[in-house]
Structure 1
Amino acid sequence: MMVLSMERWVGKVAVITGASSGIGATIAEQLVEKGLKVAGLARRKDRLDELANKLAGKKGKFYPVVTDVSKEEDILRAFAWTKENLGPVHILINNAGIAGRGNVHDGDTKLWTSIFDLNVLGLCIATREAIKDMKANSVDGHIIHINSIAGHRVVLGGSVYPASKFAVTALAETLRLELNSLKSKIKITSISPGLIDTEIIPQQFKTENLYKEGKIIGPEEIADGVIYALSTPLMYRSKNSP
Protein backbone atom coordinates (compact mmCIF):
# COMPACT_ATOMS: atom_id res chain seq x y z
CA MET A 1 0.00 0.00 0.00
CA MET A 2 1.37 3.43 -0.99
CA VAL A 3 1.75 5.76 1.99
CA LEU A 4 1.29 9.44 1.17
CA SER A 5 3.16 11.91 3.37
CA MET A 6 4.77 15.36 3.13
CA GLU A 7 6.80 14.85 6.31
CA ARG A 8 10.14 14.37 4.55
CA TRP A 9 9.85 17.84 2.98
CA VAL A 10 9.31 19.75 6.25
CA GLY A 11 12.03 22.40 6.61
CA LYS A 12 13.28 21.74 3.08
CA VAL A 13 13.57 24.29 0.24
CA ALA A 14 11.16 24.55 -2.67
CA VAL A 15 11.59 26.94 -5.60
CA ILE A 16 8.43 28.02 -7.44
CA THR A 17 8.48 30.11 -10.60
CA GLY A 18 5.55 32.34 -11.42
CA ALA A 19 4.74 32.49 -7.71
CA SER A 20 3.06 35.90 -7.56
CA SER A 21 -0.46 34.79 -8.54
CA GLY A 22 -2.71 31.98 -9.71
CA ILE A 23 -1.42 28.42 -9.59
CA GLY A 24 2.06 29.41 -8.39
CA ALA A 25 0.80 31.45 -5.45
CA THR A 26 -1.66 28.71 -4.48
CA ILE A 27 1.06 26.03 -4.56
CA ALA A 28 3.32 28.29 -2.51
CA GLU A 29 0.61 28.74 0.09
CA GLN A 30 0.04 24.99 0.44
CA LEU A 31 3.77 24.22 0.69
CA VAL A 32 4.32 26.89 3.35
CA GLU A 33 1.40 25.48 5.33
CA LYS A 34 3.10 22.06 5.10
CA GLY A 35 6.25 23.50 6.67
CA LEU A 36 8.54 24.17 3.70
CA LYS A 37 10.80 27.11 3.00
CA VAL A 38 9.53 28.44 -0.33
CA ALA A 39 11.50 30.72 -2.63
CA GLY A 40 8.88 32.40 -4.80
CA LEU A 41 10.22 33.66 -8.12
CA ALA A 42 8.25 36.24 -10.12
CA ARG A 43 8.60 39.76 -11.56
CA ARG A 44 5.97 41.57 -9.48
CA LYS A 45 7.56 42.52 -6.16
CA ASP A 46 4.34 43.95 -4.75
CA ARG A 47 2.47 40.67 -5.33
CA LEU A 48 5.31 38.64 -3.83
CA ASP A 49 5.48 40.86 -0.76
CA GLU A 50 1.71 40.67 -0.37
CA LEU A 51 1.88 36.86 -0.42
CA ALA A 52 4.76 36.86 2.08
CA ASN A 53 2.68 38.97 4.46
CA LYS A 54 -0.33 36.69 4.00
CA LEU A 55 1.74 33.62 4.85
CA ALA A 56 3.56 35.10 7.85
CA GLY A 57 3.21 32.96 10.96
CA LYS A 58 2.59 29.71 9.09
CA LYS A 59 4.50 26.48 9.71
CA GLY A 60 6.95 27.23 6.90
CA LYS A 61 8.00 30.53 5.33
CA PHE A 62 7.69 32.28 1.98
CA TYR A 63 10.66 34.20 0.60
CA PRO A 64 10.04 36.67 -2.26
CA VAL A 65 12.74 36.55 -4.94
CA VAL A 66 12.12 39.09 -7.72
CA THR A 67 13.00 37.24 -10.93
CA ASP A 68 12.24 37.48 -14.63
CA VAL A 69 12.21 33.78 -15.55
CA SER A 70 12.65 34.64 -19.24
CA LYS A 71 16.17 35.92 -18.44
CA GLU A 72 18.97 33.49 -17.62
CA GLU A 73 20.91 35.95 -15.49
CA ASP A 74 17.86 36.48 -13.28
CA ILE A 75 17.37 32.74 -12.82
CA LEU A 76 21.03 32.19 -11.94
CA ARG A 77 20.89 35.05 -9.43
CA ALA A 78 17.71 33.65 -7.86
CA PHE A 79 19.19 30.17 -7.41
CA ALA A 80 22.42 31.60 -6.01
CA TRP A 81 20.45 33.63 -3.45
CA THR A 82 18.31 30.62 -2.53
CA LYS A 83 21.29 28.34 -1.98
CA GLU A 84 23.18 30.93 0.05
CA ASN A 85 20.26 31.98 2.24
CA LEU A 86 17.92 29.00 2.47
CA GLY A 87 19.98 25.89 1.73
CA PRO A 88 19.97 23.12 -0.89
CA VAL A 89 17.05 22.99 -3.31
CA HIS A 90 14.82 19.94 -2.81
CA ILE A 91 11.81 20.83 -4.98
CA LEU A 92 11.38 22.88 -8.15
CA ILE A 93 7.93 23.80 -9.46
CA ASN A 94 8.23 25.14 -13.01
CA ASN A 95 5.00 27.11 -13.12
CA ALA A 96 5.84 30.39 -14.88
CA GLY A 97 4.31 30.68 -18.32
CA ILE A 98 2.48 32.92 -20.76
CA ALA A 99 -0.09 32.23 -23.44
CA GLY A 100 -0.62 34.01 -26.75
CA ARG A 101 -3.43 34.56 -29.21
CA GLY A 102 -2.95 34.58 -32.96
CA ASN A 103 -1.86 32.46 -35.87
CA VAL A 104 1.42 30.93 -36.95
CA HIS A 105 1.00 31.87 -40.63
CA ASP A 106 0.99 35.62 -39.89
CA GLY A 107 2.23 35.77 -36.31
CA ASP A 108 4.44 38.18 -34.43
CA THR A 109 8.08 37.24 -33.85
CA LYS A 110 8.29 39.12 -30.55
CA LEU A 111 5.32 37.16 -29.20
CA TRP A 112 6.85 33.88 -30.32
CA THR A 113 10.16 34.77 -28.68
CA SER A 114 8.56 35.80 -25.39
CA ILE A 115 6.55 32.55 -25.22
CA PHE A 116 9.52 30.28 -25.89
CA ASP A 117 11.92 32.27 -23.69
CA LEU A 118 9.62 31.80 -20.68
CA ASN A 119 7.71 28.56 -21.28
CA VAL A 120 10.63 26.54 -22.64
CA LEU A 121 14.06 28.08 -22.08
CA GLY A 122 13.27 29.48 -18.64
CA LEU A 123 11.95 26.08 -17.62
CA CYS A 124 15.09 24.37 -18.96
CA ILE A 125 17.45 26.76 -17.18
CA ALA A 126 15.63 26.50 -13.85
CA THR A 127 15.55 22.71 -14.16
CA ARG A 128 19.27 22.56 -14.92
CA GLU A 129 20.15 24.74 -11.94
CA ALA A 130 17.90 22.79 -9.56
CA ILE A 131 19.29 19.41 -10.61
CA LYS A 132 22.86 20.72 -10.45
CA ASP A 133 22.25 21.76 -6.83
CA MET A 134 20.42 18.52 -5.96
CA LYS A 135 23.29 16.41 -7.30
CA ALA A 136 25.92 18.53 -5.52
CA ASN A 137 24.11 18.01 -2.21
CA SER A 138 23.01 14.38 -2.77
CA VAL A 139 19.34 15.42 -2.64
CA ASP A 140 16.70 13.03 -3.97
CA GLY A 141 14.53 15.91 -5.09
CA HIS A 142 11.44 16.41 -7.21
CA ILE A 143 10.95 18.54 -10.33
CA ILE A 144 7.37 19.37 -11.32
CA HIS A 145 6.44 21.00 -14.63
CA ILE A 146 3.07 22.73 -14.75
CA ASN A 147 2.30 21.80 -18.33
CA SER A 148 -1.08 22.13 -20.10
CA ILE A 149 -3.62 20.12 -22.04
CA ALA A 150 -2.28 22.23 -24.92
CA GLY A 151 0.92 20.20 -24.56
CA HIS A 152 -1.00 17.18 -25.85
CA ARG A 153 -3.67 18.65 -28.13
CA VAL A 154 -3.51 21.71 -30.39
CA VAL A 155 -6.28 24.29 -30.28
CA LEU A 156 -6.65 26.74 -33.17
CA GLY A 157 -5.75 30.35 -32.43
CA GLY A 158 -3.19 29.73 -29.72
CA SER A 159 -0.21 30.94 -31.73
CA VAL A 160 2.92 29.03 -30.68
CA TYR A 161 1.65 28.40 -27.12
CA PRO A 162 0.72 24.75 -27.88
CA ALA A 163 4.14 24.24 -29.48
CA SER A 164 5.80 25.54 -26.31
CA LYS A 165 3.76 23.15 -24.17
CA PHE A 166 4.39 20.18 -26.50
CA ALA A 167 8.05 21.05 -25.87
CA VAL A 168 7.44 20.81 -22.10
CA THR A 169 5.91 17.36 -22.61
CA ALA A 170 8.99 16.25 -24.54
CA LEU A 171 11.34 17.86 -22.01
CA ALA A 172 9.71 16.01 -19.12
CA GLU A 173 10.12 12.67 -20.90
CA THR A 174 13.67 13.53 -21.97
CA LEU A 175 14.59 14.39 -18.38
CA ARG A 176 12.96 11.19 -17.12
CA LEU A 177 15.08 9.12 -19.48
CA GLU A 178 18.24 11.06 -18.59
CA LEU A 179 17.71 10.67 -14.85
CA ASN A 180 16.91 6.99 -15.27
CA SER A 181 20.08 6.45 -17.29
CA LEU A 182 22.06 8.09 -14.46
CA LYS A 183 20.24 5.90 -11.90
CA SER A 184 19.23 9.11 -10.18
CA LYS A 185 16.42 9.13 -7.60
CA ILE A 186 15.37 12.66 -8.54
CA LYS A 187 11.74 12.51 -9.68
CA ILE A 188 10.10 14.38 -12.57
CA THR A 189 6.35 15.00 -12.82
CA SER A 190 4.39 16.79 -15.54
CA ILE A 191 0.90 18.09 -14.70
CA SER A 192 -1.33 19.14 -17.61
CA PRO A 193 -4.39 21.18 -16.58
CA GLY A 194 -7.17 22.31 -18.86
CA LEU A 195 -8.84 25.70 -18.33
CA ILE A 196 -7.91 27.20 -14.96
CA ASP A 197 -9.36 30.35 -13.44
CA THR A 198 -6.14 32.38 -13.53
CA GLU A 199 -4.87 35.59 -15.14
CA ILE A 200 -3.37 33.69 -18.08
CA ILE A 201 -6.84 32.68 -19.35
CA PRO A 202 -8.54 35.46 -21.37
CA GLN A 203 -11.69 36.79 -19.68
CA GLN A 204 -13.92 35.84 -22.62
CA PHE A 205 -13.19 32.17 -21.92
CA LYS A 206 -14.45 32.39 -18.33
CA THR A 207 -18.14 31.91 -19.09
CA GLU A 208 -20.75 30.90 -16.53
CA ASN A 209 -21.53 27.71 -18.43
CA LEU A 210 -17.90 26.56 -18.26
CA TYR A 211 -17.99 26.88 -14.49
CA LYS A 212 -21.33 25.08 -14.25
CA GLU A 213 -20.10 22.24 -16.46
CA GLY A 214 -16.85 21.91 -14.53
CA LYS A 215 -14.78 22.75 -17.61
CA ILE A 216 -12.89 25.51 -15.81
CA ILE A 217 -11.50 24.87 -12.34
CA GLY A 218 -9.63 26.78 -9.66
CA PRO A 219 -5.86 26.79 -9.04
CA GLU A 220 -6.45 24.99 -5.74
CA GLU A 221 -7.14 21.76 -7.61
CA ILE A 222 -3.81 21.95 -9.41
CA ALA A 223 -2.05 22.69 -6.12
CA ASP A 224 -3.72 19.60 -4.65
CA GLY A 225 -2.26 17.58 -7.55
CA VAL A 226 1.20 18.95 -6.79
CA ILE A 227 0.88 18.00 -3.11
CA TYR A 228 -0.22 14.51 -4.12
CA ALA A 229 2.80 14.09 -6.43
CA LEU A 230 5.19 15.30 -3.75
CA SER A 231 3.58 12.94 -1.22
CA THR A 232 4.33 9.80 -3.21
CA PRO A 233 7.17 7.62 -1.91
CA LEU A 234 10.79 8.03 -2.86
CA MET A 235 12.02 5.86 -5.71
CA TYR A 236 14.16 2.90 -4.72
CA ARG A 237 15.76 0.53 -7.17
CA SER A 238 16.67 -3.04 -6.40
CA LYS A 239 20.14 -4.36 -7.23
CA ASN A 240 18.61 -6.18 -10.20
CA SER A 241 16.98 -3.08 -11.70
CA PRO A 242 18.41 -1.99 -15.07
Structure 2
Amino acid sequence: MTGRNTAAGKELMSIVERVESVIAAKQTMTDDIAAILAEAKHRGYVPKAIRHVIKVRAMKPHDRQESEAIIATYLHALGDEAESPLFRHVNQMAVDVTSREEVAEALKSLVPSNGSIIVEAGGKGVKLTRDKDGHVETHDLSTPWPAATGGQAPAPGRPSRPTAKPAEAPDVDGDGAEALGREAFRANEPVIRNPFPFGDDRRPRWDLGWRLESGSDGMGPGTGQA
Protein backbone atom coordinates (compact mmCIF):
# COMPACT_ATOMS: atom_id res chain seq x y z
CA MET A 1 0.00 0.00 0.00
CA THR A 2 1.34 3.40 -0.93
CA GLY A 3 0.54 6.89 0.25
CA ARG A 4 1.83 9.92 2.04
CA ASN A 5 1.97 8.17 5.41
CA THR A 6 4.30 5.41 4.19
CA ALA A 7 8.07 5.62 4.70
CA ALA A 8 8.63 6.12 0.96
CA GLY A 9 5.89 8.73 0.78
CA LYS A 10 7.34 10.72 3.69
CA GLU A 11 10.81 10.60 2.19
CA LEU A 12 9.51 11.78 -1.18
CA MET A 13 7.53 14.58 0.45
CA SER A 14 10.68 15.72 2.27
CA ILE A 15 12.59 15.86 -1.02
CA VAL A 16 9.80 17.77 -2.78
CA GLU A 17 9.46 20.28 0.05
CA ARG A 18 13.22 20.88 0.14
CA VAL A 19 13.25 21.61 -3.59
CA GLU A 20 10.22 23.88 -3.23
CA SER A 21 11.98 25.73 -0.41
CA VAL A 22 15.03 26.36 -2.62
CA ILE A 23 12.79 27.54 -5.47
CA ALA A 24 11.02 29.95 -3.11
CA ALA A 25 14.37 31.27 -1.84
CA LYS A 26 15.57 31.71 -5.42
CA GLN A 27 12.43 33.67 -6.28
CA THR A 28 13.01 35.88 -3.25
CA MET A 29 16.58 36.54 -4.41
CA THR A 30 15.33 37.34 -7.93
CA ASP A 31 12.79 39.79 -6.50
CA ASP A 32 15.48 41.40 -4.33
CA ILE A 33 17.79 41.84 -7.33
CA ALA A 34 14.95 43.35 -9.35
CA ALA A 35 14.23 45.80 -6.52
CA ILE A 36 17.89 46.85 -6.32
CA LEU A 37 18.09 47.38 -10.08
CA ALA A 38 14.83 49.35 -10.01
CA GLU A 39 16.36 51.63 -7.36
CA ALA A 40 19.51 51.95 -9.48
CA LYS A 41 17.43 52.94 -12.51
CA HIS A 42 15.64 55.54 -10.41
CA ARG A 43 19.04 56.99 -9.50
CA GLY A 44 20.02 57.29 -13.16
CA TYR A 45 21.93 54.04 -13.73
CA VAL A 46 21.26 51.57 -16.56
CA PRO A 47 20.22 48.14 -15.19
CA LYS A 48 21.31 46.28 -18.34
CA ALA A 49 24.79 47.78 -18.03
CA ILE A 50 24.94 46.85 -14.34
CA ARG A 51 24.05 43.23 -15.19
CA HIS A 52 26.84 43.22 -17.79
CA VAL A 53 29.35 44.63 -15.29
CA ILE A 54 28.40 41.91 -12.78
CA LYS A 55 28.87 39.26 -15.47
CA VAL A 56 32.28 40.63 -16.45
CA ARG A 57 33.45 40.83 -12.82
CA ALA A 58 32.59 37.16 -12.38
CA MET A 59 34.90 36.15 -15.25
CA LYS A 60 38.44 34.91 -14.75
CA PRO A 61 40.99 37.52 -15.91
CA HIS A 62 42.30 35.44 -18.81
CA ASP A 63 38.79 34.53 -19.99
CA ARG A 64 37.88 38.21 -19.89
CA GLN A 65 40.99 39.18 -21.87
CA GLU A 66 40.31 36.52 -24.49
CA SER A 67 36.67 37.57 -24.84
CA GLU A 68 37.58 41.25 -25.25
CA ALA A 69 40.31 40.38 -27.77
CA ILE A 70 37.98 38.26 -29.90
CA ILE A 71 35.29 40.96 -29.88
CA ALA A 72 37.86 43.58 -30.96
CA THR A 73 39.04 41.32 -33.79
CA TYR A 74 35.50 40.66 -34.99
CA LEU A 75 34.61 44.37 -34.89
CA HIS A 76 37.69 45.12 -36.99
CA ALA A 77 36.71 42.41 -39.48
CA LEU A 78 33.26 44.00 -39.78
CA GLY A 79 34.74 47.45 -40.30
CA ASP A 80 33.60 48.78 -36.94
CA GLU A 81 37.17 49.19 -35.62
CA ALA A 82 39.56 51.63 -37.30
CA GLU A 83 42.70 49.59 -36.55
CA SER A 84 43.48 45.93 -36.07
CA PRO A 85 44.81 44.82 -32.64
CA LEU A 86 48.26 44.26 -34.13
CA PHE A 87 48.53 47.77 -35.57
CA ARG A 88 47.43 49.28 -32.25
CA HIS A 89 50.12 47.21 -30.56
CA VAL A 90 52.85 48.25 -33.00
CA ASN A 91 51.81 51.85 -32.43
CA GLN A 92 52.99 51.49 -28.80
CA MET A 93 56.49 50.62 -29.97
CA ALA A 94 59.23 53.12 -30.77
CA VAL A 95 58.55 52.68 -34.49
CA ASP A 96 58.15 55.35 -37.16
CA VAL A 97 54.59 55.55 -38.49
CA THR A 98 55.74 54.70 -42.01
CA SER A 99 57.33 51.49 -40.73
CA ARG A 100 54.30 50.11 -38.88
CA GLU A 101 53.17 47.83 -41.69
CA GLU A 102 56.65 46.38 -42.15
CA VAL A 103 56.96 45.72 -38.41
CA ALA A 104 53.52 44.09 -38.31
CA GLU A 105 54.36 41.81 -41.23
CA ALA A 106 57.72 40.95 -39.69
CA LEU A 107 55.98 39.90 -36.48
CA LYS A 108 53.52 37.76 -38.44
CA SER A 109 56.40 35.95 -40.13
CA LEU A 110 57.58 34.72 -36.73
CA VAL A 111 54.36 32.83 -36.01
CA PRO A 112 54.79 29.06 -36.51
CA SER A 113 52.30 27.00 -38.51
CA ASN A 114 49.33 25.98 -36.35
CA GLY A 115 50.92 27.87 -33.46
CA SER A 116 51.02 31.25 -31.77
CA ILE A 117 53.33 33.80 -30.20
CA ILE A 118 52.77 36.63 -27.73
CA VAL A 119 54.55 39.96 -28.16
CA GLU A 120 54.66 42.55 -25.37
CA ALA A 121 55.17 46.31 -25.56
CA GLY A 122 54.12 49.18 -23.36
CA GLY A 123 53.16 46.79 -20.57
CA LYS A 124 50.58 45.03 -22.71
CA GLY A 125 50.61 42.26 -25.27
CA VAL A 126 49.14 40.90 -28.47
CA LYS A 127 48.73 37.24 -29.34
CA LEU A 128 49.39 36.19 -32.94
CA THR A 129 47.99 32.82 -34.04
CA ARG A 130 48.48 31.10 -37.41
CA ASP A 131 45.77 28.66 -38.56
CA LYS A 132 46.23 25.56 -40.72
CA ASP A 133 45.72 27.65 -43.88
CA GLY A 134 48.53 30.01 -42.94
CA HIS A 135 46.33 32.98 -42.03
CA VAL A 136 47.46 34.98 -38.99
CA GLU A 137 44.89 36.36 -36.51
CA THR A 138 45.83 38.93 -33.86
CA HIS A 139 44.22 39.29 -30.43
CA ASP A 140 44.86 42.06 -27.92
CA LEU A 141 45.70 41.03 -24.36
CA SER A 142 44.64 43.74 -21.91
CA THR A 143 47.43 42.55 -19.60
CA PRO A 144 50.49 40.41 -20.35
CA TRP A 145 49.86 36.66 -20.46
CA PRO A 146 51.65 34.65 -17.76
CA ALA A 147 55.21 33.62 -18.53
CA ALA A 148 55.35 30.50 -20.68
CA THR A 149 55.60 27.31 -18.64
CA GLY A 150 54.77 24.79 -21.32
CA GLY A 151 51.09 24.82 -20.39
CA GLN A 152 48.14 26.23 -22.25
CA ALA A 153 45.96 29.18 -21.41
CA PRO A 154 43.22 28.19 -18.99
CA ALA A 155 39.94 27.22 -20.59
CA PRO A 156 36.72 28.90 -19.51
CA GLY A 157 35.03 27.04 -16.68
CA ARG A 158 31.84 27.19 -14.77
CA PRO A 159 31.82 29.38 -11.66
CA SER A 160 31.93 27.36 -8.49
CA ARG A 161 28.71 27.02 -6.57
CA PRO A 162 28.48 29.07 -3.39
CA THR A 163 28.93 27.06 -0.22
CA ALA A 164 26.35 27.02 2.50
CA LYS A 165 28.87 28.43 4.99
CA PRO A 166 31.28 31.16 3.79
CA ALA A 167 34.96 30.56 4.41
CA GLU A 168 36.64 32.50 7.18
CA ALA A 169 38.52 35.62 6.10
CA PRO A 170 42.34 35.30 6.03
CA ASP A 171 44.08 36.49 9.19
CA VAL A 172 46.08 39.34 7.64
CA ASP A 173 46.30 43.13 7.93
CA GLY A 174 45.59 45.66 5.16
CA ASP A 175 48.96 45.16 3.46
CA GLY A 176 48.46 41.41 3.59
CA ALA A 177 45.02 41.76 2.05
CA GLU A 178 46.48 43.80 -0.80
CA ALA A 179 49.15 41.16 -1.37
CA LEU A 180 46.47 38.45 -1.44
CA GLY A 181 44.58 40.46 -4.07
CA ARG A 182 47.67 40.54 -6.27
CA GLU A 183 48.15 36.80 -5.81
CA ALA A 184 44.52 36.19 -6.73
CA PHE A 185 44.90 37.99 -10.06
CA ARG A 186 48.06 36.04 -10.86
CA ALA A 187 46.15 32.84 -10.04
CA ASN A 188 43.45 33.85 -12.57
CA GLU A 189 40.78 34.40 -9.91
CA PRO A 190 37.89 36.78 -10.73
CA VAL A 191 37.62 39.98 -8.71
CA ILE A 192 34.41 38.79 -7.06
CA ARG A 193 36.38 36.09 -5.19
CA ASN A 194 37.34 38.63 -2.54
CA PRO A 195 37.55 36.55 0.69
CA PHE A 196 36.78 39.46 3.01
CA PRO A 197 33.15 40.20 3.92
CA PHE A 198 31.38 43.42 3.00
CA GLY A 199 32.13 46.12 5.58
CA ASP A 200 35.58 44.70 6.38
CA ASP A 201 38.28 47.39 5.97
CA ARG A 202 40.51 44.80 4.28
CA ARG A 203 38.02 44.13 1.47
CA PRO A 204 38.87 47.32 -0.52
CA ARG A 205 42.59 46.66 0.04
CA TRP A 206 42.20 43.21 -1.55
CA ASP A 207 40.36 44.85 -4.47
CA LEU A 208 43.16 47.41 -4.76
CA GLY A 209 45.81 44.69 -4.98
CA TRP A 210 43.82 42.81 -7.64
CA ARG A 211 43.36 45.92 -9.79
CA LEU A 212 46.97 47.07 -9.48
CA GLU A 213 48.20 43.63 -10.52
CA SER A 214 45.79 43.65 -13.47
CA GLY A 215 47.45 46.80 -14.79
CA SER A 216 44.68 49.28 -13.99
CA ASP A 217 45.31 52.40 -11.91
CA GLY A 218 43.79 50.77 -8.81
CA MET A 219 41.59 53.81 -8.19
CA GLY A 220 38.45 51.97 -7.16
CA PRO A 221 35.91 53.21 -4.61
CA GLY A 222 37.03 52.96 -1.00
CA THR A 223 40.69 52.34 -1.78
CA GLY A 224 41.88 55.66 -0.45
CA GLN A 225 43.75 56.28 -3.69
CA ALA A 226 43.75 59.87 -4.93
- Specify if TM > 0.5: no
TM-score after normalising by structure 2: 0.19
Looking at secondary structure, tell me which structure has more strand per residue.
1
Rg (Cα) greater in structure: 2
Instruction: Using structure 1 for the length normalisation, give the TM-score.
Output: 0.19
Q: More relative contact order in 1 or in 2 (CA 8 Å, sep 6+)?
A: 1
